[in-house]
Structure formats: C-alpha cells, structure tokens
Amino acid sequence: MADPLNAKPMEQKNYLLYIIAGALVVLIIMAVIGVVVGTALIVNFQRNLKPVATTKVEPTPTLTPLPGKKYASDSAVVKLRDELIKLRTEIDTMDYFEAQIVPPSLDSKIRIE
C-alpha cells in the first residue's frame, strides 16, 4: 500500500513535467540561435579579412633585338631623322589662321534713307 504521506498529488507531477519540457525546448532554441549567429559572425569576419598580398611572377617580355648604336652615325639614318624633325617643326608652325587673307569686314548696306 502506498504511503499516503509520501504520495504526491497527480497535478503536482504534471506541473514538474511541463517545466522540464519547457526548459528543454528553450535550451534547444537557444542552441539553434547560437549556432546560426555564430556561423554568421564567422562568415562576416572572414569577409572582412584583407586578402593577403601575393607576389605574382610576371613573365619577362622578350625584347626585340635592337641594333643599339650601330647606326648612330649612319649618314642616311641621321639625315632622315634630321629631315623629319624639320618637317615636324614645319607642320607645327603652319599658319591656318593667316589673318592677312581672311576676307575684309565690309559694311555691305551703305545707304542714306
């Protein structure tokens, strides 16, 4: 026979079960939120990280072999260079706004009325 003094009422047992179940649910929700927020923070942190500078090895351009100063005193080449410089100066100094040949400003309607 059950001890009537130790026996808990049925309503009190149910009440305890509800509290334990509620606490478990709250813990689970908090754990889920913690995981989500934690993940977001980690991702954001990684995005804000500055990229580490890397050294790229650029290919060295292959230079066309130049004749160097072999023709520096070649009369034909030097003469051509000098003539081109003169020609460029002539182009630079060409006057296309020659004021002398612009038509004179005339008063075409000269009348007394």
Give the residues lining the site for another protein (CB under 8 A): 64-72, 76-78, 80-81, 83-88, 90-92, 94, 96-98, 100-104, 106-113
Beta carbon nearer to another protein, 1 or 102? 102
79 within 8 A of 85, measured Cβ to Cβ: no
Type of residue at 80: L
Tell me how far CA of residue 15 lies from CA of 10, 26, 95, in angstroms.
9, 17, 107
Beta carbon nearer to another protein, 4 or 61? 61
CB of 60 to another protein, least distance (A): 18
Q: Where are the alpha helices (DSSP H) in 9-111?
A: 10-48, 75-92
CB of 75 to another protein, least distance (A): 10
Beta carbon nearer to another protein, 13 or 81? 81
Structure tokens at 6: 């130790």
Phi, psi of 90 (to 5 degrees): -65, -40
CB of 89 to another protein, least distance (A): 9
